[in-house]
């Protein structure tokens, strides 16, 4: 059927609107990338938009010479990997149990879980609980409090309830218990949901800077985003790089093109690009994984 001029005008308007929104969303990231590759002294004069005016790698040379940042990067990677794996596994286990109608007290447990989505103890009670558990200034304070996600559990549970019951009945006939059925049948069939929720969980761990800023005081346990937050709050290069080794400090003194803003943009790119590069590998699971887990209650 041939479209009339009104439909064509509407489609043109929609495409222009989407292109504009995409540009407004992507441009700040691109501009930060451009500034990170531009001489800091030149950036101060303004006018840096789409391309570096004075290309330089000095900002990244300083960043990668800072042992504190490399240690923060390692902590973030370790936290993301361990936190995502443990959270997804425990959440899936809880959801599998909640999907069984024969579970005693199933409704009460469900209400108990859901209430935690709407009500929390607040920052101070949480701080007191963390301190009483001996998790202060510990790597595990970034892992244990977020092991179970109720929202992810609901998505998992809904997906498990949609699986054919005959699969589990066949497994029981073959001698599989609940554990064997879960690990040998349920998890392999849950690939799209696991991939989608794993990405969301990983992004949450990678981007979290607030919790470490409260519970961690040791510099060697600070993750990358908390380190970046401190950098962005710094006003000068000297305040940011006051603790780097003497060789890097001497190198910094030789680099007249490095400024606080250009250095901050370089660190921001180092903190952002790793998690951004993960998206293309799991993008195909987004729609399928979320929709499969949310078709019915």
Q: What is the pLDDT of residues 150-207, one digit of tens each?
A: 999 998 998 888 888 888 888 888 888 888 888 888 888 888 888 888 988 998 999 8
Determine the pLDDT at residue 47: 77
Determine the pLDDT at residue 179: 87
> pTM for the full model?
0.78
What's the whole-number mean pLDDT along residues 259-283?
79
- How would you label 267-289 residue by residue, b for 16+ Cβ within 10 Å and e otherwise? bbbbbbeebeeeeeebeebeeeb
Q: With 70 as the cut, is the pLDDT of residue 243 above it?
A: no
Task: Give the pLDDT band (50/70/90) at residue 253.
Answer: very low
What integer best gives the mean pLDDT of the chain?
Answer: 82
Task: Give the pLDDT band (50/70/90) at residue 297.
Answer: very low
CA dist., res. 152 & res. 190, Å (int): 13
Determine the pLDDT at residue 296: 47
Q: Are 196 and 285 in contact (CB under 8 A)?
A: yes
Determine the pLDDT at residue 288: 58
DSSP bridge pairs for 38: 55
Task: Give the pLDDT band (50/70/90) at residue 42.
Answer: confident
Q: Are 73 and 226 in contact (CB under 8 A)?
A: no
């Amino acid at each position: 059927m041939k479209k009339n001029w009104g439909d064509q005008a509407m489609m043109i308007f929609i495409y222009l609107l989407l292109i504009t929104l995409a540009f407004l969303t992507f441009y700040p990231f691109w501009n930060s990338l451009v500034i990170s590759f531009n001489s800091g002294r030149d950036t101060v004069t303004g006018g840096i938009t789409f391309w570096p005016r004075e290309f330089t790698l000095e900002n990244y040379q300083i960043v990668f010479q800072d042992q504190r940042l490399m240690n923060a990067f390692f902590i973030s990677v370790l936290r993301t990997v361990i936190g995502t794996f443990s959270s997804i596994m425990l959440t899936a286990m809880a959801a599998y149990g909640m999907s069984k109608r024969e579970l005693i007290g199933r409704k009460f447990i469900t209400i108990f879980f859901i209430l935690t989505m709407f009500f929390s103890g607040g920052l101070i009670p949480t701080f007191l609980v963390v301190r009483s558990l001996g998790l202060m200034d510990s790597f595990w304070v970034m892992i244990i409090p977020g092991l179970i996600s109720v929202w992810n559990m609901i998505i998992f549970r809904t997906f498990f309830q949609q699986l054919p019951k005959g699969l589990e009945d066949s497994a029981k006939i073959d001698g599989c218990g609940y554990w064997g059925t879960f690990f040998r049948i349920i998890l392999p069939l849950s690939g799209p949901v696991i991939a989608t929720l794993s990405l969301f969980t990983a992004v949450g761990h990678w981007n979290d800077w607030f919790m470490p800023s409260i519970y961690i005081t040791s510099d060697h346990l600070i993750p990358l985003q908390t380190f970046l937050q401190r950098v962005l709050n710094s006003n000068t290069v000297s305040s940011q790089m006051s603790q780097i080794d003497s060789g890097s400090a001497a190198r910094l003194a030789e680099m007249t093109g490095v400024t606080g803003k250009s250095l901050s943009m370089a660190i921001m790119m180092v903190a952002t690009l790793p998690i951004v590069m993960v998206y293309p590998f799991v993008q195909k699971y987004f729609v399928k994984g979320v929709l499969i887990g949310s078709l019915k209650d």
